[in-house]
């Protein structure tokens, strides 16, 4: 059975030594001293390793069950684990203390969520999506709605869902058909079918609060006529009618490639009672706020799966004896050498390791921008800076990191040879569970279009200028540091290539917009590579300073070795993506539609 050990040391490095989150003293956050943070991380590690990880393989095998009465049961052990999750307050971490939260910054929540997702991604979806729903109600809800729903959702007693997709409409929400009929009492009757609803029904909580996109009778066509509704599974939380079942039911559970422990439901709304969240026809605004948080979460989940896959591959490579090192036996007494001696095995491990450490830094850094953009004590310019960086990097964190995570879990599976294909080793599950990350919360092609079509152009290109300014600061601060000269020049060179690509897009998009769309995924990968180079630069700078100060902890030398692997063996891909971007629309569009 696969195992998981939370990378606590690396998390501490990112949180304390690079991002220095313990130094914040913004009043919106609880007091963030280093010990408190470390205590939370260590407790999260223990919970993930001991409670969640042992349920991962069994949860995959058993999956969720829709019972004859239409209720949904989660795999064995999930209920007890969930009870323990809320008992220990894990659902409350980043939420507002007004509703029972702990007021911790989002970046710390991301660190904890990484561990939950490494240990058991399927399990982690239930509380992950509830977090999104809490966010939406916090933004769009009335005071009364907040009072009704938030305390029980923050405590984890109730769960939440996001209900967007319908059978005929996923990406193109303008096509959605679910109807919302206004009632005399100010509520709405919701009727329609939603698909792909994660946690649409389950047995972990007593109530589930669905946030449902639907159209009112007189709504304009397309995306401008979509409203958002709160549709609880059980109506009236208190008083006589408490617990009355609403007209919402799970019609089926989808059979998926992976994530079997997460119930993906077809949800039927049959004149279900719903309450408008926010304004009529403005539902997408709130949904997109949720989606952006969820997209950073998908990047986190991608990293989390690659991390646990790497750990198991590294253990196997140290354990499995097969063949001899090409430079001479390292285990002459044994029947063979451990396969970690073989350069190609080590290559696959290094690819994953450098991805994991770089991505952890990137995801935490992005989450921190989310904290900083909302910090009232900072100047508007400072907040805009964080907002720009977060907006620009969100599609990259979602799209690029999930694209690469799949390759990394596949590589880690490859380390096992034929055993990697056998379910009991668990490597197949990591690949299957990771595969969803490129598909949900907006397929990766949509992320790439969001990046090139929206984020680059917003505010006259301010976000990219903001990123460039950050890169300038990094380069200026480290330019004289000869020990990490290779990191600094890698960032500078990668930035030059991205600029080249951006210029190409600006010049050729005007000629034919398909030029931009055809190369959008290449551009997204370029920005992902630059972002990781930047993150590696920041980490290298901190690690080198420790070494220069005489710190002999091997953690720092290993950090530099792992970073240099990225610079030398991963970053060169940026050249290919630039070359492909510049081929433009012609090779992609030349074949007629009918010829496919």
Q: Which active-site residues does the annotation give? A: 441
How far, in Å, CA of 237 to CA of 207, rounded? 9
Comparing CB distances to a copy of itself, the nearer of 35 and 596 is: 596
Near a copy of itself in 65-124, by CB under 8 A = none
3-state secondary structure of 375: coil
Total of chain residues touching a copy of itself, rule CB under 8 A: 91
CB 274 within 8 A of CB 123: no
Distance in Å, CB of 314 to a copy of itself, minimum: 4
Distance in Å, CB of 576 to a copy of itself, minimum: 5
Comparing CB distances to a copy of itself, the nearer of 4 and 99 is: 4
How far, in Å, CA of 333 to CA of 324, rounded? 12
Looking at 202, 408, 435, 497, which residue binds a copy of itself (CB under 8 A)? 435
50 CB-near residues (< 8 Å, 6+ apart): none
How far, in Å, CA of 542 to CA of 267, rounded? 49
Comparing CB distances to a copy of itself, the nearer of 274 and 399 is: 399
Comparing CB distances to a copy of itself, the nearer of 327 and 460 is: 327
Near a copy of itself in 519-578, by CB under 8 A = 520-521, 554, 558, 561-562, 564-565, 568-569, 572-573, 575-576
How far, in Å, CA of 406 to CA of 432, rounded? 9
Near a copy of itself in 195-224, by CB under 8 A = 196
Residue carrying the six token digits 């919302």: 180
How far, in Å, CA of 222 to CA of 371, rounded? 33
Distance in Å, CB of 495 to a copy of itself, minimum: 19
Of 415-423, 454-462, 498-506, 531-539, the segment contacting a copy of itself by CB under 8 A is: 415-423
The alpha helices in 72-105, defined as continuous H runs, are: 78-87
State the helix-helix crossing angle for 485-511 and 458-478, rounded to 10 degrees: 160
Looking at 406, 456, 529, 539, which residue binds a copy of itself (CB under 8 A)? 406
Distance in Å, CB of 559 to a copy of itself, minimum: 10
Comparing CB distances to a copy of itself, the nearer of 326 and 549 is: 326
298 near a copy of itself (CB under 8 A): no
CB 232 within 8 A of CB 167: no
CB 446 within 8 A of CB 438: no
How far, in Å, CA of 16 to CA of 38, rounded? 9
CB 521 within 8 A of CB 451: no
Q: Which of 178, 40, 164 is nearest to 113 (CA)?
A: 40
Comparing CB distances to a copy of itself, the nearer of 76 and 347 is: 347
Distance in Å, CB of 261 to a copy of itself, minimum: 15
350 near a copy of itself (CB under 8 A): yes
Residue-wise burial string across 330-343, b where 16 or more C-beta atoms lie within 10 A, e elsewhere: eeeeeeebbbbbbe
Comparing CB distances to a copy of itself, the nearer of 470 and 557 is: 557
444 near a copy of itself (CB under 8 A): yes
Looking at 438, 464, 527, 532, which residue binds a copy of itself (CB under 8 A)? 438
Comparing CB distances to a copy of itself, the nearer of 389 and 518 is: 518
Looking at 184, 381, 549, 595, which residue binds a copy of itself (CB under 8 A)? 595
Near a copy of itself in 308-327, by CB under 8 A = 314, 317-318, 321-323, 326-327
**Ramachandran category for residue 303: left, alpha or beta (phi over 0 → left; psi -120 to 50 → alpha):** alpha
Looking at 194, 202, 215, 353, which residue binds a copy of itself (CB under 8 A)? 353
CB 129 within 8 A of CB 199: yes
φ, ψ dihedrals at 19, nearest 5°? -85, -20
Distance in Å, CB of 385 to a copy of itself, minimum: 30
Of 16-24, 171-179, 243-251, 544-552, the segment contacting a copy of itself by CB under 8 A is: 171-179
256 near a copy of itself (CB under 8 A): yes
Near a copy of itself in 483-512, by CB under 8 A = 512
């Amino acid at each position: 059975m696969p195992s998981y050990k939370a990378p606590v040391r690396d998390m501490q490095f990112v949180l304390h030594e690079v991002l220095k989150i313990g130094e914040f003293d913004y009043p919106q956050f609880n007091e963030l001293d280093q010990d408190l943070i470390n205590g939370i991380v260590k407790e999260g590690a223990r919970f993930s390793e001991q409670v969640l990880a042992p349920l991962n393989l069994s949860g995959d095998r058993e999956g969720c069950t829709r019972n004859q009465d239409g209720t949904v049961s989660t795999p064995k052990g999930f209920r007890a684990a969930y009870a323990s999750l809320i008992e220990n307050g894990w659902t409350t971490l980043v939420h507002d203390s007004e509703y029972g939260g702990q007021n911790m910054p989002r970046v710390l929540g991301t660190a904890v969520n990484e561990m939950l997702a490494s240990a058991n991604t399927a399990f982690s979806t239930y509380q992950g999506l509830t977090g999104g729903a809490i966010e939406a109600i916090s933004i769009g809800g009335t005071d009364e709605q907040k009072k009704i729903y938030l305390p029980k959702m923050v405590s984890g007693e109730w769960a939440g869902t996001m209900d967007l997709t319908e059978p005929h409409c996923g990406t193109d929400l303008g096509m959605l058909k679910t109807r919302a009929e206004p009632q005399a009492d100010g509520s709405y009757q919701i009727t329609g079918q939603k698909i792909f609803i994660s946690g649409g029904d389950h047995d972990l909580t007593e109530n589930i609060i669905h946030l449902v996109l639907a159209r009112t009778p007189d709504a304009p066509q397309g995306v401008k006529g979509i409203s958002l509704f709160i549709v609880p599974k059980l109506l009236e939380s208190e008083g006589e009618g408490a617990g009355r079942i609403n007209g919402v039911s799970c019609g089926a559970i989808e059979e998926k490639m992976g994530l079997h422990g997460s119930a993906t439901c077809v949800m039927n709304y049959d004149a279900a009672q719903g309450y408008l969240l926010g304004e009529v026809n403005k539902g997408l605004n709130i949904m997109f706020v949720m989606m952006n948080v969820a997209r950073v979460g998908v990047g986190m989940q991608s990293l989390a799966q690659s991390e646990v896959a790497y750990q198991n591959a590294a253990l196997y490579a140290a354990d499995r004896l097969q063949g001899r090192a090409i430079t001479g036996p390292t285990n002459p007494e044994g029947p063979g050498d451990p396969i970690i001696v073989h350069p190609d095995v080590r290559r696959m491990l290094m690819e994953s390791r450098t991805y994991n450490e770089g991505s952890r830094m990137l995801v935490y850094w992005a989450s921190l921008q989310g904290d900083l953009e909302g910090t009232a004590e900072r100047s508007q310019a400072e907040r805009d800076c964080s907002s720009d960086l977060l907006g620009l990097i969100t599609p990259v964190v979602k799209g690029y990191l999930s694209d690469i995570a799949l390759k990394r879990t596949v590589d880690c599976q490859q380390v096992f040879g034929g055993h990697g294909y056998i379910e009991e080793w668990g490597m197949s599950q990591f690949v299957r569970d990771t595969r969803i990350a490129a598909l949900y919360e907006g397929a990766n092609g949509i992320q790439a279009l969001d990046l090139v079509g929206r984020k680059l152009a917003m505010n006259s290109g301010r976000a990219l200028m903001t990123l460039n300014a950050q890169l300038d600061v990094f380069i200026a601060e480290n330019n004289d540091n000869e020990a990490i000269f290779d990191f600094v020049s890698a960032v500078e060179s990668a930035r030059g290539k991205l600029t080249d690509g951006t210029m190409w897009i600006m010049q050729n998009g005007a000629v034919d917009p398909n030029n931009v769309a055809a190369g959008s995924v290449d551009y997204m990968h370029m920005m992902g590579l630059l972002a990781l180079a930047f993150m590696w630069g920041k980490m290298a700078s901190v690690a080198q300073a420790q070494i220069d100060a005489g710190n002999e902890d091997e953690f720092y030398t290993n950090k530099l070795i792992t970073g240099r692997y990225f610079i030398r063996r991963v970053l060169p891909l940026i050249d290919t993506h630039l070359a492909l971007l510049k081929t433009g629309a012609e090779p992609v569009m030349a074949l007629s539609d009918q010829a496919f």
